[in-house]
Amino acid sequence: DGGITQSPKYLFRKEGQNVTLSCEQNLNHDAMYWYRQDPGQGLRLIYYSQIVNDFQKGDIAEGYSVSREKKESFPLTVTSAQKNPTAFYLCASTPVGGGGQGNQPQHFGDGTRLSIL
Amino acid sequence: AQTVTQSQPEMSVQEAETVTLSCTYDTSESDYYLFWYKQPPSRQMILVIRQEAYKQQNATENRFSVNFQKAAKSFSLKISDSQLGDAAMYFCAARVAGSQGNLIFGKGTKLSVKP
């Protein structure tokens, strides 16, 4: 079955360390997204990509970086500049990029829980 | 900027009863789409129901239905015959057409179902 795979499920970061969260999809979707979820908050958009080799900042991009070298992969790096990285991170995708998505829902992975050691 | 507001941080319902979760949104656009997602303790985000703003008819999916009031910018979710498995966080989300597909989420409502 097609879907979105996020790994690892749990991740621990030391002070001053960069860590990378993996997101892979085999749905042949064009657009991919990264969200951060904190307790009592909704999902907040970190970065998104509508097409390979292109991505844009979301609402809370500071301290994060992404790449989109392949259609199926959209890894998120949490850099040492992100002073409060402890959160639940969700990756999502939609079939079509740009503004043509209409009522298509976003498909989500199972998430990665990131904590500071 | 678009915003989505869920005014009920927590709700509780008795098993087999009906509960309504509230959602209001703010947008100046006329063409947009609305969604309800469910997030059970497993943390997976599951689409519950969706509504196109241009459709007057309220969407329905089995025990789940919406009350879409476009003029009031209200999009409430009604769960009928509540089941224990309905216990979860519920998020309302909106997407403006042509906005690169970005969803704006509310902060969620935690629903508890009492046996």
Which has the higher per-residue pLDDT, A2 or B93? B93
E strand spans, B70-108: 74-79, 88-96, 104-105
Coil, helix or strand at residue B85 = helix
| Cβ contact A103–B33 (<8 Å) | yes
pLDDT for B110: 97
pLDDT digit string (tens) for B65-111? 999 999 999 999 999 999 999 999 999 999 887 666 688 999 999 99
Is pLDDT above 80 for A98?
A: no
Q: Quick one: pLDDT band at residue A99, thresholds 50, 70, 90?
A: low
pLDDT for A101: 63
Nearest CA in chain B to A42: B107
Residues 21-60, chain A, touching B (beta carbon < 8 A): 31, 33, 40-45, 48, 50, 56, 58
CA geometry: angle A37, A41, A44, nearest 5 deg? 50
pLDDT digit string (tens) for A46-84? 999 988 999 999 999 999 999 999 999 999 999 988 889
pLDDT for B31: 85
Q: Quick one: pLDDT band at residue A97, thresholds 50, 70, 90?
A: low
pLDDT for B100: 67
pLDDT digit string (tens) for A11-54? 998 888 999 999 999 999 999 999 999 987 889 999 999 889 99
| Cβ contact A96–B52 (<8 Å) | no
pLDDT for A104: 79
Residue A108, strand partner residues: A92
* Residue numbers in B near A103 (CB within 8 A): 33, 50-52
Is pLDDT above 80 for A96?
A: no
Say which of A40, A58, A105 has its CB closest to residue B35: A105
Percent of chain B with pLDDT over 70: 96
Is pLDDT above 70 for A100?
A: no
Nearest CA in chain B to A43: B105
Percent of chain B with pLDDT over 90: 77
- Burial letters for A26-48: b for 16+ Cβ neighbours within 10 Å, e otherwise? ebebbbbbbbbbeeeebbbbbbb
Q: Which two tokens stand for residue B66?
A: 């919406």
pLDDT for A43: 93
- In this structure, what are the phi and psi dihedrals at residue A38, rounded to the nearest 5 degrees? -110, 155
pLDDT digit string (tens) for B24-67? 999 888 888 999 999 999 899 999 999 999 888 999 999 999 99
Residue B39, strand partner residues: B89
Q: Across all residues in chain A, what is the average pLDDT?
A: 91
- In this structure, what are the phi and psi dihedrals at residue A78, rounded to the nearest 5 degrees? -95, 115
- The distance in angstroms from the start CA to the end CA of chain B is 41
